[in-house]
Structure 1
Amino acid sequence: MTDVNKKELGLVGGSPVERVFNLTGERSIYAQVWEKPGAPIFIALHGWLDNSASFSRLAPLLNVTVVALDLAGHGLSYHRKAEAPYHLWDDLLDLDEIIEQLGGAAVGLLGHSRGAIICAIYAATMPERCNQLLLIDGLVPEPVSSDKFPTQLRKAMLEFKRHAKRTFPVYDSVDAAAKIRHQGLFPLSETAASAIVDRGTKPVEGGVSWRVDPKLLAPSMIKLTSEQISALVADINLPATLVLASEGMPKLFPFFAKNLHAFTNIDMVDLVGSHHLHLEDEVVQVAALFNQKIDKYQGENNCV
Protein backbone atom coordinates (compact mmCIF):
# COMPACT_ATOMS: atom_id res chain seq x y z
CA MET A 1 0.00 0.00 0.00
CA THR A 2 1.43 3.38 -0.99
CA ASP A 3 1.73 6.34 1.36
CA VAL A 4 -0.88 8.16 -0.72
CA ASN A 5 -3.35 5.32 -0.26
CA LYS A 6 -2.63 5.19 3.45
CA LYS A 7 -3.46 8.88 3.74
CA GLU A 8 -6.71 8.32 1.90
CA LEU A 9 -7.60 5.52 4.30
CA GLY A 10 -6.84 7.60 7.38
CA LEU A 11 -3.84 5.51 8.40
CA VAL A 12 -1.27 8.25 8.92
CA GLY A 13 -0.58 9.85 12.30
CA GLY A 14 1.75 9.43 15.29
CA SER A 15 -1.10 8.97 17.78
CA PRO A 16 -4.30 7.00 17.19
CA VAL A 17 -6.62 8.53 14.64
CA GLU A 18 -10.28 7.78 14.07
CA ARG A 19 -11.24 5.88 10.94
CA VAL A 20 -14.76 5.06 9.76
CA PHE A 21 -15.44 2.12 7.46
CA ASN A 22 -18.73 2.64 5.68
CA LEU A 23 -20.06 -0.81 4.84
CA THR A 24 -22.91 -1.87 2.59
CA GLY A 25 -26.39 -1.30 3.92
CA GLU A 26 -25.57 2.02 5.61
CA ARG A 27 -23.52 0.34 8.33
CA SER A 28 -20.49 2.06 9.87
CA ILE A 29 -17.61 0.43 11.73
CA TYR A 30 -15.42 2.85 13.69
CA ALA A 31 -11.76 2.21 14.36
CA GLN A 32 -8.73 3.66 16.08
CA VAL A 33 -5.52 3.42 14.06
CA TRP A 34 -1.96 3.41 15.38
CA GLU A 35 0.30 3.97 12.38
CA LYS A 36 3.84 2.64 12.00
CA PRO A 37 5.08 3.85 8.59
CA GLY A 38 6.22 1.03 6.34
CA ALA A 39 5.03 -1.66 8.75
CA PRO A 40 2.50 -4.41 7.99
CA ILE A 41 -1.13 -3.89 8.98
CA PHE A 42 -2.85 -5.86 11.71
CA ILE A 43 -6.59 -5.56 12.27
CA ALA A 44 -7.40 -5.83 15.98
CA LEU A 45 -10.68 -7.19 17.34
CA HIS A 46 -11.63 -6.65 20.97
CA GLY A 47 -13.57 -8.82 23.39
CA TRP A 48 -17.23 -8.99 24.37
CA LEU A 49 -18.62 -5.65 25.66
CA ASP A 50 -15.22 -3.97 25.16
CA ASN A 51 -14.18 -1.68 22.30
CA SER A 52 -11.09 -0.61 20.34
CA ALA A 53 -9.64 1.14 23.41
CA SER A 54 -8.84 -2.37 24.66
CA PHE A 55 -5.68 -2.09 22.53
CA SER A 56 -4.69 1.42 23.64
CA ARG A 57 -1.65 0.22 25.60
CA LEU A 58 -0.58 -2.66 23.36
CA ALA A 59 -0.92 -1.09 19.90
CA PRO A 60 1.73 1.65 20.36
CA LEU A 61 4.27 -1.00 21.44
CA LEU A 62 3.88 -3.24 18.40
CA ASN A 63 6.02 -3.04 15.27
CA VAL A 64 2.95 -2.91 13.05
CA THR A 65 0.16 -0.57 12.08
CA VAL A 66 -2.82 -1.52 14.23
CA VAL A 67 -6.33 -0.89 12.96
CA ALA A 68 -8.42 -1.55 16.07
CA LEU A 69 -12.12 -1.89 15.31
CA ASP A 70 -15.20 -1.22 17.38
CA LEU A 71 -17.13 -4.36 16.45
CA ALA A 72 -20.82 -4.05 15.63
CA GLY A 73 -22.84 -3.20 18.73
CA HIS A 74 -19.77 -1.90 20.56
CA GLY A 75 -18.05 1.47 20.94
CA LEU A 76 -19.03 3.95 18.25
CA SER A 77 -20.01 1.37 15.63
CA TYR A 78 -23.46 0.57 14.30
CA HIS A 79 -26.00 -1.61 16.10
CA ARG A 80 -27.64 -4.45 14.25
CA LYS A 81 -31.34 -4.14 13.39
CA ALA A 82 -33.85 -4.59 16.20
CA GLU A 83 -34.69 -8.15 15.16
CA ALA A 84 -31.07 -9.19 14.53
CA PRO A 85 -28.96 -11.04 17.13
CA TYR A 86 -25.16 -10.92 17.29
CA HIS A 87 -23.62 -13.98 15.69
CA LEU A 88 -19.89 -14.49 15.22
CA TRP A 89 -20.46 -15.18 11.52
CA ASP A 90 -21.92 -11.71 10.98
CA ASP A 91 -18.71 -10.19 12.33
CA LEU A 92 -16.81 -12.28 9.78
CA LEU A 93 -18.66 -10.54 6.97
CA ASP A 94 -17.91 -7.10 8.44
CA LEU A 95 -14.23 -8.00 8.81
CA ASP A 96 -14.05 -9.27 5.24
CA GLU A 97 -15.51 -6.04 3.86
CA ILE A 98 -13.05 -3.96 5.89
CA ILE A 99 -10.10 -5.94 4.55
CA GLU A 100 -11.42 -5.20 1.06
CA GLN A 101 -11.43 -1.48 1.87
CA LEU A 102 -7.84 -1.72 3.09
CA GLY A 103 -6.79 -2.92 -0.34
CA GLY A 104 -7.68 -6.60 -0.25
CA ALA A 105 -4.15 -7.88 0.42
CA ALA A 106 -3.49 -10.26 3.29
CA VAL A 107 -3.31 -8.63 6.74
CA GLY A 108 -2.39 -9.78 10.21
CA LEU A 109 -5.13 -10.38 12.76
CA LEU A 110 -4.85 -9.49 16.44
CA GLY A 111 -7.69 -10.60 18.69
CA HIS A 112 -8.66 -10.67 22.34
CA SER A 113 -11.26 -13.04 23.83
CA ARG A 114 -14.37 -12.95 21.58
CA GLY A 115 -12.31 -11.02 19.05
CA ALA A 116 -9.71 -13.79 19.10
CA ILE A 117 -12.42 -16.33 18.31
CA ILE A 118 -13.57 -14.27 15.33
CA CYS A 119 -9.97 -13.95 14.12
CA ALA A 120 -9.38 -17.70 14.39
CA ILE A 121 -12.57 -18.61 12.52
CA TYR A 122 -11.77 -16.07 9.81
CA ALA A 123 -8.22 -17.38 9.41
CA ALA A 124 -9.53 -20.93 8.99
CA THR A 125 -12.14 -19.99 6.40
CA MET A 126 -10.43 -17.15 4.50
CA PRO A 127 -6.70 -18.00 4.64
CA GLU A 128 -5.88 -15.94 1.55
CA ARG A 129 -6.95 -12.80 3.43
CA CYS A 130 -4.60 -13.04 6.41
CA ASN A 131 -1.00 -13.97 7.07
CA GLN A 132 -0.53 -14.14 10.85
CA LEU A 133 -2.60 -14.58 14.00
CA LEU A 134 -1.82 -13.00 17.36
CA LEU A 135 -4.41 -14.04 19.94
CA ILE A 136 -4.94 -13.06 23.58
CA ASP A 137 -6.83 -15.36 25.94
CA GLY A 138 -9.26 -16.63 23.34
CA LEU A 139 -9.35 -19.13 20.50
CA VAL A 140 -12.59 -21.11 20.31
CA PRO A 141 -16.15 -20.65 21.61
CA GLU A 142 -17.68 -22.93 24.22
CA PRO A 143 -18.99 -26.03 22.40
CA VAL A 144 -22.50 -27.42 22.72
CA SER A 145 -23.27 -31.03 21.81
CA SER A 146 -25.68 -31.55 18.93
CA ASP A 147 -28.34 -33.07 21.19
CA LYS A 148 -28.47 -29.79 23.16
CA PHE A 149 -29.27 -27.74 20.04
CA PRO A 150 -33.04 -27.37 20.73
CA THR A 151 -32.39 -26.35 24.34
CA GLN A 152 -29.79 -23.76 23.31
CA LEU A 153 -32.06 -22.33 20.63
CA ARG A 154 -35.03 -22.01 22.98
CA LYS A 155 -32.92 -20.35 25.68
CA ALA A 156 -31.50 -17.86 23.19
CA MET A 157 -34.89 -16.97 21.74
CA LEU A 158 -36.38 -16.25 25.14
CA GLU A 159 -33.36 -14.28 26.32
CA PHE A 160 -33.16 -12.31 23.09
CA LYS A 161 -36.68 -10.95 23.59
CA ARG A 162 -35.83 -9.87 27.12
CA HIS A 163 -32.56 -8.16 26.30
CA ALA A 164 -33.97 -6.46 23.19
CA LYS A 165 -36.24 -4.48 25.52
CA ARG A 166 -33.57 -3.86 28.12
CA THR A 167 -32.40 -0.39 29.16
CA PHE A 168 -29.13 0.26 30.94
CA PRO A 169 -28.67 2.16 34.21
CA VAL A 170 -27.64 5.81 34.20
CA TYR A 171 -24.50 6.77 36.15
CA ASP A 172 -23.56 10.19 37.46
CA SER A 173 -20.27 10.21 35.58
CA VAL A 174 -17.86 8.18 33.48
CA ASP A 175 -15.86 7.52 36.65
CA ALA A 176 -18.93 6.01 38.30
CA ALA A 177 -19.48 3.75 35.28
CA ALA A 178 -15.79 2.77 35.34
CA LYS A 179 -16.15 1.54 38.92
CA ILE A 180 -18.87 -0.85 37.76
CA ARG A 181 -16.74 -2.08 34.85
CA HIS A 182 -13.81 -2.47 37.24
CA GLN A 183 -15.77 -5.20 39.05
CA GLY A 184 -16.98 -7.16 36.01
CA LEU A 185 -16.73 -10.85 35.11
CA PHE A 186 -13.03 -10.32 34.47
CA PRO A 187 -11.94 -7.61 36.96
CA LEU A 188 -9.94 -4.70 35.56
CA SER A 189 -7.65 -2.19 37.20
CA GLU A 190 -9.13 1.29 37.49
CA THR A 191 -6.84 2.53 34.70
CA ALA A 192 -7.83 -0.29 32.35
CA ALA A 193 -11.52 0.09 33.14
CA SER A 194 -11.37 3.83 32.47
CA ALA A 195 -9.79 3.28 29.05
CA ILE A 196 -12.64 1.04 27.91
CA VAL A 197 -15.43 2.98 29.60
CA ASP A 198 -14.40 6.34 28.13
CA ARG A 199 -15.28 4.99 24.68
CA GLY A 200 -18.00 2.63 25.88
CA THR A 201 -20.35 5.19 27.40
CA LYS A 202 -22.54 7.97 26.02
CA PRO A 203 -24.10 11.06 27.60
CA VAL A 204 -27.77 10.72 28.49
CA GLU A 205 -30.19 12.69 30.62
CA GLY A 206 -28.91 12.54 34.18
CA GLY A 207 -25.40 11.35 33.39
CA VAL A 208 -23.94 8.60 31.19
CA SER A 209 -24.95 5.10 30.14
CA TRP A 210 -23.47 2.22 28.15
CA ARG A 211 -23.17 2.45 24.36
CA VAL A 212 -23.24 -1.30 23.74
CA ASP A 213 -26.31 -2.89 22.21
CA PRO A 214 -28.13 -4.74 25.03
CA LYS A 215 -28.88 -7.59 22.61
CA LEU A 216 -25.20 -8.54 23.01
CA LEU A 217 -26.13 -9.89 26.44
CA ALA A 218 -28.35 -12.58 24.92
CA PRO A 219 -26.80 -16.06 24.50
CA SER A 220 -25.91 -17.37 21.07
CA MET A 221 -28.79 -18.98 19.19
CA ILE A 222 -26.48 -21.53 17.59
CA LYS A 223 -23.28 -22.86 19.15
CA LEU A 224 -20.69 -24.98 17.43
CA THR A 225 -20.07 -28.59 18.38
CA SER A 226 -16.67 -29.85 19.49
CA GLU A 227 -16.24 -31.51 16.09
CA GLN A 228 -16.94 -28.28 14.22
CA ILE A 229 -14.53 -26.35 16.44
CA SER A 230 -11.77 -28.92 15.94
CA ALA A 231 -12.27 -28.79 12.17
CA LEU A 232 -11.95 -25.00 12.16
CA VAL A 233 -8.77 -24.88 14.25
CA ALA A 234 -7.22 -27.69 12.22
CA ASP A 235 -7.60 -25.54 9.11
CA ILE A 236 -5.53 -22.67 10.53
CA ASN A 237 -2.39 -23.01 8.42
CA LEU A 238 -0.61 -19.74 9.11
CA PRO A 239 1.70 -18.60 11.94
CA ALA A 240 -0.54 -18.39 15.02
CA THR A 241 0.36 -17.45 18.59
CA LEU A 242 -2.00 -17.60 21.56
CA VAL A 243 -1.18 -15.93 24.89
CA LEU A 244 -3.03 -17.51 27.80
CA ALA A 245 -3.62 -15.55 31.01
CA SER A 246 -3.30 -17.47 34.28
CA GLU A 247 -6.33 -15.67 35.74
CA GLY A 248 -8.32 -15.57 32.50
CA MET A 249 -10.15 -18.05 30.28
CA PRO A 250 -8.33 -21.23 31.42
CA LYS A 251 -9.32 -20.53 35.02
CA LEU A 252 -12.91 -19.46 34.44
CA PHE A 253 -13.72 -22.01 31.74
CA PRO A 254 -11.91 -25.32 32.43
CA PHE A 255 -13.15 -26.80 29.12
CA PHE A 256 -11.06 -24.19 27.34
CA ALA A 257 -7.74 -25.28 28.85
CA LYS A 258 -8.66 -28.97 28.72
CA ASN A 259 -8.99 -29.00 24.94
CA LEU A 260 -6.10 -26.74 23.99
CA HIS A 261 -3.51 -29.52 23.92
CA ALA A 262 -5.16 -30.91 20.80
CA PHE A 263 -4.40 -27.79 18.77
CA THR A 264 -0.75 -28.39 17.94
CA ASN A 265 -0.76 -25.87 15.08
CA ILE A 266 -1.13 -22.99 17.55
CA ASP A 267 1.92 -21.73 19.46
CA MET A 268 0.65 -21.27 23.03
CA VAL A 269 2.39 -19.20 25.68
CA ASP A 270 1.29 -19.00 29.33
CA LEU A 271 1.66 -15.67 31.11
CA VAL A 272 0.77 -14.66 34.64
CA GLY A 273 -1.98 -12.06 34.53
CA SER A 274 -5.66 -11.31 34.09
CA HIS A 275 -7.90 -11.83 31.09
CA HIS A 276 -7.07 -8.26 29.96
CA LEU A 277 -3.33 -8.59 30.50
CA HIS A 278 -2.75 -6.63 27.26
CA LEU A 279 -4.35 -3.63 28.98
CA GLU A 280 -2.60 -4.10 32.31
CA ASP A 281 1.06 -3.97 33.36
CA GLU A 282 1.75 -7.29 31.61
CA VAL A 283 1.34 -5.45 28.30
CA VAL A 284 5.13 -5.10 28.04
CA GLN A 285 5.55 -8.88 28.08
CA VAL A 286 2.77 -9.37 25.57
CA ALA A 287 4.23 -6.75 23.23
CA ALA A 288 7.74 -8.23 23.43
CA LEU A 289 6.44 -11.70 22.60
CA PHE A 290 4.27 -10.49 19.73
CA ASN A 291 7.04 -8.34 18.25
CA GLN A 292 9.29 -11.39 18.27
CA LYS A 293 6.64 -13.35 16.37
CA ILE A 294 6.00 -10.45 13.98
CA ASP A 295 9.69 -10.04 13.17
CA LYS A 296 10.05 -13.78 12.61
CA TYR A 297 7.09 -14.34 10.34
CA GLN A 298 6.09 -11.14 8.56
CA GLY A 299 9.03 -11.23 6.18
CA GLU A 300 7.89 -14.66 5.01
CA ASN A 301 4.33 -13.58 4.21
CA ASN A 302 2.65 -11.05 1.97
CA CYS A 303 2.29 -7.75 3.81
CA VAL A 304 0.38 -4.62 2.86
Structure 2
Amino acid sequence: MHRSWQLEVQGRRLAVMEWGDPQGVPVVALHGWLDNAASFTLLARHLPHVRLIALDLAGHGLSDHRPAGQPYYIWDNVADVLALLDELALERVALLGHSLGAGVATLFAGTFPERVSRMMLIDGLIPLDYAADQLPELMAEALVRGARLSRRSLRPYSSVEQAVQARMNGRWPVSREAAGWLLERGLRQQPDGWTWRSDLALTQPSIVRLCEQQITAFVRRLSMPVLLVMAEQGIGIERVEAFLELMPALELKVLAGGHHLHLEEKAAAQITEWIGERLA
Protein backbone atom coordinates (compact mmCIF):
# COMPACT_ATOMS: atom_id res chain seq x y z
CA MET A 1 0.00 0.00 0.00
CA HIS A 2 1.13 3.51 -0.72
CA ARG A 3 -0.03 6.94 0.35
CA SER A 4 -0.52 9.72 -2.19
CA TRP A 5 -0.52 13.44 -1.49
CA GLN A 6 0.40 16.76 -3.08
CA LEU A 7 2.29 19.91 -2.24
CA GLU A 8 2.19 23.31 -3.87
CA VAL A 9 5.34 25.07 -5.06
CA GLN A 10 4.86 28.60 -6.44
CA GLY A 11 1.36 27.79 -7.62
CA ARG A 12 2.30 24.42 -9.12
CA ARG A 13 1.08 21.07 -7.80
CA LEU A 14 3.69 18.37 -7.20
CA ALA A 15 2.46 14.83 -6.57
CA VAL A 16 4.09 12.45 -4.11
CA MET A 17 3.88 8.72 -3.35
CA GLU A 18 4.92 7.31 0.03
CA TRP A 19 5.47 3.73 1.15
CA GLY A 20 6.64 2.00 4.28
CA ASP A 21 6.94 3.04 7.91
CA PRO A 22 6.10 6.74 8.50
CA GLN A 23 8.59 6.62 11.40
CA GLY A 24 11.28 4.90 9.34
CA VAL A 25 14.43 6.40 7.90
CA PRO A 26 13.31 8.99 5.31
CA VAL A 27 14.51 8.31 1.77
CA VAL A 28 13.54 10.73 -1.00
CA ALA A 29 13.36 8.96 -4.37
CA LEU A 30 13.75 10.72 -7.74
CA HIS A 31 12.73 8.93 -10.92
CA GLY A 32 14.07 8.93 -14.46
CA TRP A 33 13.09 10.88 -17.57
CA LEU A 34 9.48 10.26 -18.68
CA ASP A 35 8.94 7.88 -15.73
CA ASN A 36 7.16 8.82 -12.50
CA ALA A 37 7.13 8.07 -8.77
CA ALA A 38 5.66 4.59 -9.37
CA SER A 39 9.08 3.66 -10.72
CA PHE A 40 10.01 2.81 -7.12
CA THR A 41 7.09 0.43 -6.45
CA LEU A 42 9.22 -2.73 -6.55
CA LEU A 43 11.98 -1.31 -4.34
CA ALA A 44 9.33 -0.18 -1.84
CA ARG A 45 8.08 -3.75 -1.51
CA HIS A 46 11.53 -4.79 -0.31
CA LEU A 47 11.95 -1.81 2.05
CA PRO A 48 8.89 -1.90 4.34
CA HIS A 49 10.78 -0.39 7.29
CA VAL A 50 11.97 2.64 5.32
CA ARG A 51 9.89 5.77 4.76
CA LEU A 52 10.19 5.95 0.98
CA ILE A 53 9.03 9.31 -0.41
CA ALA A 54 8.90 9.47 -4.22
CA LEU A 55 8.24 12.71 -6.08
CA ASP A 56 6.66 13.05 -9.50
CA LEU A 57 9.07 15.56 -11.01
CA ALA A 58 7.47 18.55 -12.74
CA GLY A 59 5.85 17.57 -16.02
CA HIS A 60 5.77 13.88 -15.05
CA GLY A 61 3.08 11.64 -13.57
CA LEU A 62 0.41 13.54 -11.64
CA SER A 63 2.51 16.68 -11.11
CA ASP A 64 1.66 19.87 -12.96
CA HIS A 65 3.51 20.83 -16.10
CA ARG A 66 5.73 23.88 -16.09
CA PRO A 67 4.20 26.95 -17.76
CA ALA A 68 3.92 26.79 -21.54
CA GLY A 69 7.11 28.00 -23.17
CA GLN A 70 9.26 27.43 -20.07
CA PRO A 71 12.01 24.90 -20.79
CA TYR A 72 12.63 21.90 -18.54
CA TYR A 73 16.07 22.54 -17.06
CA ILE A 74 17.33 19.83 -14.72
CA TRP A 75 18.48 22.35 -12.10
CA ASP A 76 14.91 23.62 -11.61
CA ASN A 77 14.14 20.28 -9.93
CA VAL A 78 16.58 21.18 -7.14
CA ALA A 79 14.20 23.86 -5.88
CA ASP A 80 11.31 21.37 -5.97
CA VAL A 81 13.23 18.79 -3.93
CA LEU A 82 14.13 21.51 -1.43
CA ALA A 83 10.45 22.48 -1.19
CA LEU A 84 9.54 18.83 -0.53
CA LEU A 85 12.06 18.52 2.31
CA ASP A 86 10.91 21.79 3.85
CA GLU A 87 7.24 20.79 3.52
CA LEU A 88 7.99 17.61 5.49
CA ALA A 89 10.31 19.39 7.95
CA LEU A 90 13.09 16.95 7.07
CA GLU A 91 16.46 18.49 7.89
CA ARG A 92 18.45 15.58 6.51
CA VAL A 93 17.50 12.68 4.23
CA ALA A 94 18.98 9.92 2.11
CA LEU A 95 18.50 10.39 -1.63
CA LEU A 96 17.64 7.59 -4.04
CA GLY A 97 17.83 8.46 -7.72
CA HIS A 98 17.51 6.69 -11.06
CA SER A 99 18.92 8.08 -14.32
CA LEU A 100 17.63 11.69 -14.59
CA GLY A 101 16.72 11.46 -10.90
CA ALA A 102 20.32 10.51 -10.09
CA GLY A 103 21.47 13.67 -11.84
CA VAL A 104 18.94 15.74 -9.87
CA ALA A 105 20.15 14.06 -6.66
CA THR A 106 23.77 14.95 -7.45
CA LEU A 107 22.88 18.59 -8.10
CA PHE A 108 20.80 18.77 -4.92
CA ALA A 109 23.46 17.10 -2.75
CA GLY A 110 26.17 19.31 -4.23
CA THR A 111 24.08 22.40 -3.53
CA PHE A 112 22.90 21.37 -0.05
CA PRO A 113 25.35 18.69 1.23
CA GLU A 114 24.27 19.36 4.80
CA ARG A 115 20.72 18.15 3.93
CA VAL A 116 21.86 14.75 2.54
CA SER A 117 23.04 11.88 4.74
CA ARG A 118 23.85 9.52 1.88
CA MET A 119 23.07 8.87 -1.78
CA MET A 120 21.99 5.70 -3.55
CA LEU A 121 22.02 6.06 -7.32
CA ILE A 122 20.87 3.64 -10.02
CA ASP A 123 22.38 3.74 -13.52
CA GLY A 124 23.08 7.44 -13.39
CA LEU A 125 25.17 10.03 -11.58
CA ILE A 126 25.41 13.31 -13.47
CA PRO A 127 23.26 15.42 -15.79
CA LEU A 128 23.82 15.36 -19.53
CA ASP A 129 26.26 18.11 -20.47
CA TYR A 130 27.15 20.47 -23.32
CA ALA A 131 30.78 21.30 -23.99
CA ALA A 132 31.24 24.99 -23.14
CA ASP A 133 32.95 25.85 -26.42
CA GLN A 134 30.14 24.20 -28.41
CA LEU A 135 27.25 25.88 -26.59
CA PRO A 136 26.44 28.51 -29.29
CA GLU A 137 26.11 25.87 -32.01
CA LEU A 138 24.22 23.46 -29.76
CA MET A 139 21.85 26.23 -28.65
CA ALA A 140 21.11 27.14 -32.26
CA GLU A 141 20.44 23.51 -33.15
CA ALA A 142 18.19 23.03 -30.12
CA LEU A 143 16.16 26.15 -30.86
CA VAL A 144 15.59 25.16 -34.50
CA ARG A 145 14.67 21.58 -33.61
CA GLY A 146 12.53 22.73 -30.69
CA ALA A 147 10.50 25.08 -32.90
CA ARG A 148 9.84 22.20 -35.28
CA LEU A 149 8.93 19.74 -32.51
CA SER A 150 6.61 22.23 -30.77
CA ARG A 151 4.24 21.98 -33.73
CA ARG A 152 3.75 18.21 -33.42
CA SER A 153 1.22 16.24 -31.43
CA LEU A 154 1.22 12.57 -30.50
CA ARG A 155 -1.45 10.24 -31.82
CA PRO A 156 -3.49 8.81 -28.91
CA TYR A 157 -3.44 5.09 -28.17
CA SER A 158 -6.70 3.31 -28.91
CA SER A 159 -6.45 1.21 -25.75
CA VAL A 160 -4.51 0.87 -22.51
CA GLU A 161 -3.02 -2.36 -23.85
CA GLN A 162 -1.54 -0.51 -26.82
CA ALA A 163 0.08 1.97 -24.41
CA VAL A 164 1.38 -0.88 -22.24
CA GLN A 165 3.00 -2.49 -25.27
CA ALA A 166 4.58 0.81 -26.27
CA ARG A 167 6.06 1.27 -22.79
CA MET A 168 7.27 -2.33 -22.60
CA ASN A 169 9.06 -1.99 -25.93
CA GLY A 170 10.45 1.53 -25.60
CA ARG A 171 14.09 2.58 -25.79
CA TRP A 172 14.60 1.15 -22.28
CA PRO A 173 12.26 -1.88 -22.07
CA VAL A 174 10.43 -2.81 -18.87
CA SER A 175 8.25 -5.75 -17.84
CA ARG A 176 4.47 -5.77 -18.26
CA GLU A 177 4.00 -5.36 -14.51
CA ALA A 178 6.38 -2.39 -14.39
CA ALA A 179 4.68 -0.81 -17.39
CA GLY A 180 1.37 -1.12 -15.54
CA TRP A 181 2.75 0.70 -12.50
CA LEU A 182 4.14 3.52 -14.62
CA LEU A 183 1.01 3.88 -16.75
CA GLU A 184 -1.25 4.12 -13.70
CA ARG A 185 0.21 7.59 -13.09
CA GLY A 186 1.45 8.25 -16.61
CA LEU A 187 -1.63 7.75 -18.76
CA ARG A 188 -4.92 9.62 -19.07
CA GLN A 189 -8.08 9.01 -21.06
CA GLN A 190 -9.38 11.57 -23.55
CA PRO A 191 -12.37 11.41 -25.92
CA ASP A 192 -10.15 10.21 -28.79
CA GLY A 193 -8.12 7.65 -26.80
CA TRP A 194 -5.33 7.37 -24.24
CA THR A 195 -2.41 9.82 -24.04
CA TRP A 196 0.65 10.30 -21.85
CA ARG A 197 0.29 12.70 -18.95
CA SER A 198 3.91 13.78 -19.23
CA ASP A 199 4.56 17.15 -20.83
CA LEU A 200 5.50 16.84 -24.51
CA ALA A 201 7.96 19.69 -23.87
CA LEU A 202 10.13 17.20 -21.95
CA THR A 203 11.06 15.63 -25.28
CA GLN A 204 12.39 18.86 -26.77
CA PRO A 205 16.18 19.33 -26.99
CA SER A 206 17.80 21.30 -24.17
CA ILE A 207 18.70 24.87 -25.10
CA VAL A 208 21.31 25.04 -22.32
CA ARG A 209 23.05 22.33 -20.30
CA LEU A 210 25.75 22.48 -17.67
CA CYS A 211 29.29 21.88 -18.91
CA GLU A 212 31.69 19.29 -17.50
CA GLN A 213 33.54 21.83 -15.36
CA GLN A 214 30.31 22.97 -13.72
CA ILE A 215 29.14 19.41 -13.08
CA THR A 216 32.54 18.60 -11.57
CA ALA A 217 32.07 21.41 -9.05
CA PHE A 218 28.87 19.73 -7.78
CA VAL A 219 30.40 16.23 -7.69
CA ARG A 220 33.39 17.48 -5.67
CA ARG A 221 30.97 18.47 -2.88
CA LEU A 222 29.60 14.92 -2.49
CA SER A 223 31.40 14.11 0.75
CA MET A 224 28.57 11.84 1.99
CA PRO A 225 28.56 8.05 1.30
CA VAL A 226 27.49 7.33 -2.28
CA LEU A 227 26.32 3.92 -3.49
CA LEU A 228 26.33 3.87 -7.29
CA VAL A 229 24.75 0.83 -8.97
CA MET A 230 25.36 0.68 -12.71
CA ALA A 231 23.66 -1.71 -15.15
CA GLU A 232 25.63 -3.92 -17.49
CA GLN A 233 23.13 -3.15 -20.28
CA GLY A 234 22.41 0.42 -19.19
CA ILE A 235 23.78 3.85 -20.05
CA GLY A 236 27.39 2.65 -19.86
CA ILE A 237 29.97 3.07 -17.11
CA GLU A 238 32.06 5.24 -19.44
CA ARG A 239 29.52 8.04 -19.06
CA VAL A 240 30.39 8.47 -15.37
CA GLU A 241 33.96 7.13 -15.11
CA ALA A 242 35.67 10.52 -15.12
CA PHE A 243 33.77 11.56 -11.97
CA LEU A 244 34.18 8.46 -9.81
CA GLU A 245 37.50 9.42 -8.24
CA LEU A 246 36.06 12.78 -7.12
CA MET A 247 33.85 11.17 -4.46
CA PRO A 248 35.81 10.07 -1.37
CA ALA A 249 33.08 7.76 -0.01
CA LEU A 250 31.97 6.07 -3.24
CA GLU A 251 30.93 2.42 -3.54
CA LEU A 252 30.52 1.27 -7.13
CA LYS A 253 28.50 -1.85 -7.94
CA VAL A 254 27.71 -3.29 -11.38
CA LEU A 255 24.71 -5.58 -11.87
CA ALA A 256 23.43 -7.62 -14.78
CA GLY A 257 20.33 -6.02 -16.21
CA GLY A 258 19.02 -3.09 -18.17
CA HIS A 259 18.73 0.63 -17.49
CA HIS A 260 15.64 0.09 -15.29
CA LEU A 261 17.44 -2.26 -12.90
CA HIS A 262 15.19 -1.27 -10.04
CA LEU A 263 12.18 -2.64 -11.94
CA GLU A 264 13.77 -6.07 -12.47
CA GLU A 265 13.01 -8.50 -9.64
CA LYS A 266 16.47 -10.02 -9.16
CA ALA A 267 18.35 -6.74 -9.41
CA ALA A 268 15.80 -4.92 -7.22
CA ALA A 269 16.24 -7.52 -4.48
CA GLN A 270 20.01 -7.01 -4.53
CA ILE A 271 19.74 -3.22 -4.63
CA THR A 272 17.37 -3.14 -1.67
CA GLU A 273 19.65 -5.49 0.27
CA TRP A 274 22.49 -3.02 -0.21
CA ILE A 275 20.24 -0.08 0.68
CA GLY A 276 18.95 -1.83 3.81
CA GLU A 277 22.50 -2.54 5.00
CA ARG A 278 23.51 1.08 4.59
CA LEU A 279 20.42 2.48 6.29
CA ALA A 280 20.60 0.11 9.27
TM-score, normalisation: structure 2: 0.94
Alignment of 1:244-255 (within 5 A): 244-250=230-236, 255=238
For 2:92, the equivalent position in structure 1 comes to 106
CA deviation map 1:102-138 (0-9, x unaligned): 1141111111000010001100111122211111111
Task: Give the deviation of 1:85 after TM superposition.
Answer: 0.6
For 1:123, the equivalent position in structure 2 comes to 109
For 1:12, the equivalent position in structure 2 comes to none
- Whole-Å separation in 2 of the counterparts to 1:208 and 1:224: 35
User: Alpha carbons of 1:23 and 1:264: their partners in 2 closer, same or farther (altered >3 Å)?
Assistant: closer
Moved more, 164-173 or 75-84: 164-173
Moved more, 157-166 or 218-227: 157-166
The 3-state SS of whatever aligns with 1:167 is coil
> Do structure 1's residue 49 and structure 2's residue 34 form an aligned pair?
yes
> Do structure 1's residue 177 and structure 2's residue 163 form an aligned pair?
yes
CA contact 2:216–2:243 (8 Å) conserved in 1: no
> Do structure 1's residue 240 and structure 2's residue 221 form an aligned pair?
no
Counterpart amino acid of residue 143 in structure 1: D
Task: Give the deviation of 1:272 after TM superposition.
Answer: 0.8
Alignment of 1:12-161 (within 5 A): 15-24=1-10, 26-62=11-47, 63-161=49-147
CA contact 1:174–1:208 (8 Å) conserved in 2: yes
- Whole-Å separation in 1 of the counterparts to 2:150 and 2:37: 24
Task: Give the deviation of 1:86 after TM superposition.
Answer: 0.3
The 3-state SS of whatever aligns with 2:261 is coil
The 3-state SS of whatever aligns with 2:210 is coil
CA contact 1:171–1:209 (8 Å) conserved in 2: yes
Counterpart amino acid of residue 181 in structure 1: R
CA contact 1:146–1:225 (8 Å) conserved in 2: yes
The 3-state SS of whatever aligns with 2:102 is helix
For 2:200, the equivalent position in structure 1 comes to 214
CA contact 1:137–1:249 (8 Å) conserved in 2: yes
CA deviation map 1:180-218 (0-9, x unaligned): 111111111222222212211100113211111011001
- C-alpha RMSD over aligned residues: 1.5
> Do structure 1's residue 256 and structure 2's residue 236 form an aligned pair?
no
Counterpart amino acid of residue 261 in structure 2: L
* Residue from 257, 263, 271 that aligns with 1:279: 263
For 1:168, the equivalent position in structure 2 comes to 154
For 1:267, the equivalent position in structure 2 comes to 251
List gaps (5 residues or longer) in structure 2. none
Counterpart amino acid of residue 163 in structure 1: L
For 2:215, the equivalent position in structure 1 comes to 229
Count of residues paired in the alignment: 277
CA contact 1:41–1:107 (8 Å) conserved in 2: yes
For 1:191, the equivalent position in structure 2 comes to 177
Task: Give the deviation of 1:255 after TM superposition.
Answer: 4.0
